[in-house]
Structure 1
Amino acid sequence: MPLGHPMITCGKAGIVRSNPRYANLSSANDVPTSVRAALCDPAWFQAMHDEYSALQANGTWELVPRPCGAHVITGEWIFKNKFHEDGSLERCKARWVVRDFSQCLGLNFDQTFSPVVKLATICTVLHLAVAPN
């Protein structure tokens, strides 16, 4: 291809190919668009139950009486399918997330900190710390 010649991609050329990774998915594995729809499907109901149980087991929150005039931060369910390498359905994943966009610094919170680190990262850092120069 000569220099200065524009590259034409498949998308620009109007060529659309389906991804074979998702070819074997049926409509039964569709992600629900509402909590009501998720509760009607046993697989999604179980995913929601697993997420709620994990949050309870980790002591994510503590139920307290609502103070007068307090601004309550709401949450929502997020649904997503997880797939194996070959494109087959691994599991249904439900997440409960807080709508933190309604928070105001100094009003609803002062500081936030959520440390998330993988064991492999810790091992790598420790290995580098003890390795000779």
Structure 2
Amino acid sequence: MAEEISSIERNQTWELTDLLEGHKTIGVKWIYKTKLKENREVDKFKACLVAKGYKQEFGIDYQEVFALVARMDTIRLVITLAAQNSWPIY
């Protein structure tokens, strides 16, 4: 947990602010996972702090949703297509 908090602070993922009048807080919860090696031995324990998004209301707690998620296979495919077709990559 300490490692996750330190990562959040180092990456400046979020910052604490005063709650605006008329708004409600959105809680967080810890998700714990045990990562295993191929031989099923414990490799490491992981902790992730996540927001309880199910308590949010569109237009009140947030205005838009954006989550950039791309698998490496997809990125490789796009780069391959760009190289084959001489497309510029930005």
2:20 aligned partner, one-letter code: P
2:24 corresponds, among 45, 58, 71, to: 71
- Unaligned 5+ segments in structure 2 are 86-90
Shift of 1:119: 4.2
Higher strand share: 2
Higher helix share: 1
**Counterpart in 1 of 2:33?**
80
Shift of 1:118: 3.9
What is the aligned residue count?
A: 85
Q: TM-score, normalised by structure 1?
A: 0.58
Q: Which has the larger radius of gyration?
A: 1
CA distance in 2, matches of 1:54, 1:100: 21
Give the 5 Å matches for 1:1-80.
48-80=1-33
CA distance in 2, matches of 1:112, 1:60: 16
- Unaligned 5+ segments in structure 1 are 1-47
**Counterpart in 2 of 1:113?**
66
What stretches of structure 1 move > 4 A for 4+ residues in a row?
Answer: none
RMSD value, Cα: 1.5
